[in-house]
Amino acid sequence: MLDGFRTPRIVWPEGRRFAFTIFDDPDLQSDSDGAMVYDFLADLGFRTTRGIWPLGPTDVPAGVHGHCEQPLHVAWLRSLRERGFELGLHNARMQTSPRNVTIRAFETYRRLFDQEAITLANHMDNGDAIYWGSARLSGWRKLVYNLATRGKNRNRFHGHEQGHELFWGDICRREIGYARNFVFRALNTLAACPVMPYHDATRPWVNQWYASSEGGECASFVETIREEQQDRLEEEGGAAILYTHFGKGFVQDGRLDTHFRERMKRIARRGGWFVPVRTVLDTIRQQRGEHTLSNSERARLERKWLLLKLSHGTS
Q: What is the CATH code for 18-93+182-312?
A: 3.20.20
pLDDT in tens, 144-194: 999 999 999 999 999 999 999 999 999 999 999 999 999 999 999 999 999
Provide φ and ψ at 120, rounded to 5°. Answer: -115, 145
Rounded to the nearest 5 degrees, what angle is found at the Cα of 295, between the Cα atoms of 289 and 299? Answer: 110
- Predicted TM-score (pTM) of the model is 0.96
The whole-angstrom separation of Cα 50 and Cα 39 is 13
Strand partners, 51: 88
What's the residue count for the chain? Answer: 315
The alpha-carbon radius of gyration of the chain (Å, integer) is 18
8 A C-beta contact, residue 243 and residue 315: yes
Among the listed residues 119, 121, 275, 301, the one whose alpha carbon sits nearest the alpha carbon of residue 195? 301
| Confidence (pLDDT) at 3 | 47
| Confidence (pLDDT) at 8 | 82
Mean pLDDT split into 10-residue runs, the chain, 315 residues: 68 97 96 97 98 90 81 97 97 97 97 90 96 97 95 94 98 98 97 97 98 97 98 97 98 97 98 97 96 96 95 77
Cis peptide before 204 (omega within 30 of 0): no
Neighbours of 174 (CB within 10 A): 12
The whole-angstrom separation of Cα 22 and Cα 16 is 17
- SS3 assignment for 177-206: EEEEEEEECCCCHHHHCCCCCEECCCCCCC
pLDDT in tens, 218-248: 999 999 999 999 999 999 999 999 999 999 9
Residue spans of the domains in the chain: they are: 18-93+182-312
The whole-angstrom separation of Cα 240 and Cα 186 is 9
8 A C-beta contact, residue 237 and residue 12: yes
